């Protein structure tokens, strides 16, 4: 029984870590979308819509991470780091890390 509980706790922590990682990727993409709308002076409706949608996805990912058991400070730290790391190499690293975290979990029940 003790071994089973340890394994369940390990899986729960892995799910939380995966949710935080995905929230970080979403936050980084939202930051990039927001930067692009700020830089391109005549903002197109499409750019504004993409930035808004990216922010919505990031917020939803953060909520899912909290529901999975992420602490607010963990989540805030990951999102802050992700939003400041918006160059291509950091986005690739964040995406690869998130993909590795979610690999063990099936997408469909």
Q: Render pLDDT for 44-75 as a digit per residue (tens, 0 to 9).
A: 788 888 888 999 999 999 999 999 899 999 99
Q: pTM of the predicted model, to two decimals?
A: 0.82
Q: How much is the pLDDT for 35?
A: 83
Rounded to 5°, the CA angle 56-84-64 comes to 35
- Segments forming the whole domain that contains residue 55: 20-102
Number of structural domains found in the chain: 1
Q: How much is the pLDDT for 107?
A: 61
Q: How much is the pLDDT for 38?
A: 62
In a domain, 85, yes or no: yes
In a domain, 92, yes or no: yes
Section 15-33 average pLDDT: 91
Q: How much is the pLDDT for 2?
A: 86
In a domain, 7, yes or no: no
């Amino acid at each position: 029984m003790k071994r089973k509980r340890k394994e369940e706790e390990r899986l729960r922590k892995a799910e939380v870590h995966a949710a935080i990682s995905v929230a970080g990727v979403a936050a980084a993409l939202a930051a990039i979308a927001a930067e692009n709308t700020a830089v391109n002076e005549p903002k197109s409706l499409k750019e504004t819509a993409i930035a808004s949608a990216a922010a919505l996805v990031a917020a939803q990912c953060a909520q899912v991470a909290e529901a999975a058991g992420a602490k607010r400070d963990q989540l805030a730290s990951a999102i802050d780091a992700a939003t400041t790391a918006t160059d291509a190499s950091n986005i690739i690293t964040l995406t690869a890390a998130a993909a590795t975290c979610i690999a063990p979990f099936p997408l469909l029940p």
